[in-house]
């Protein structure tokens, strides 16, 4: 029982820190939040932060990882709900629209798109993205190339470039004076880029 009680306390401490961190990072950004403020609002000690996450950066990484996982799962659900989830163009269009929806959320813009690359650095952010958005794009492209539905080009490079374009589109929408127009234009341009990679399905053999 004492061991279980300690596990419960540890879980409660992590939950409190991550919830407060999530809210404050989304509201003011990584640089605008101090470790002291986080532990104070979470009602825990500075030692608890160090024990579970090392420092503020470690907590930010945990918050970012969960946000990326949640966003990727939301995109996957939107694609899975299509009449034909194997329709690559429809899947990418739906995934893009879902992502652009996320760009109206402060947590996605501030934590994932702005602070994520800055805090992790390019290599660290790409490594994390490989488990989430970048991994999703890479998987779609690999399936399309294997099925002969996309040009046979370096998939890894294409996936990185598409992710960069989609992220930039999201930032344009998030910071636009007219978000609706910016979103429509961004979606059109990204889909034009993607459509250039695709090949029409081969006709059935007679």
What is the C-alpha to C-alpha distance for residues 96 and 153, in angstroms, rounded to an integer? 21
Write out residues in the chain with pLDDT < 50, as ranges: 1
Whether 52 contacts 88, CB under 8 Å: no
What is the C-alpha to C-alpha distance for residues 34 and 41, in angstroms, rounded to an integer? 11
Give the pLDDT of residue 200: 64
Q: What is the pTM of this model?
A: 0.86
Write the CB contacts of 154 (distance below 8 Å, at least 6 apart in sequence). Answer: none
Instruction: Domains for the chain: give ranges and CATH numbers.
Output: 2-195 (1.10.357.10)
């Amino acid at each position: 029982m004492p061991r279980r009680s300690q596990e419960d306390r540890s879980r409660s401490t992590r939950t409190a820190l991550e919830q407060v961190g999530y809210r404050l990072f989304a509201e003011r950004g990584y640089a605008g939040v101090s470790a002291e403020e986080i532990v104070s609002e979470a009602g825990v000690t500075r030692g608890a932060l160090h024990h579970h996450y090392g420092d503020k950066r470690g907590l930010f990484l945990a918050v970012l990882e969960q946000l990326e996982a949640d966003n990727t799962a939301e995109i996957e659900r939107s694609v899975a709900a299509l009449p034909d989830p194997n329709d690559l163009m429809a899947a990418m269009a739906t995934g893009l629209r879902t992502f652009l929806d996320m760009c109206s959320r402060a947590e996605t813009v501030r934590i994932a798109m702005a602070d994520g690359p800055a805090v992790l650095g390019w290599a660290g952010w790409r490594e994390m993205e490989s488990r989430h958005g970048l991994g999703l794009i890479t998987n779609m492209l690999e399936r399309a190339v294997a099925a002969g539905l996309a040009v046979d080009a370096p998939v890894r490079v294409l996936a990185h470039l598409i992710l960069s374009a989609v992220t930039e589109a999201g930032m344009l929408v998030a910071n636009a004076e007219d978000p609706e127009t910016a979103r429509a234009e961004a979606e059109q341009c990204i889909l034009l880029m993607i459509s250039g990679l695709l090949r029409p399905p081969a006709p059935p053999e007679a």
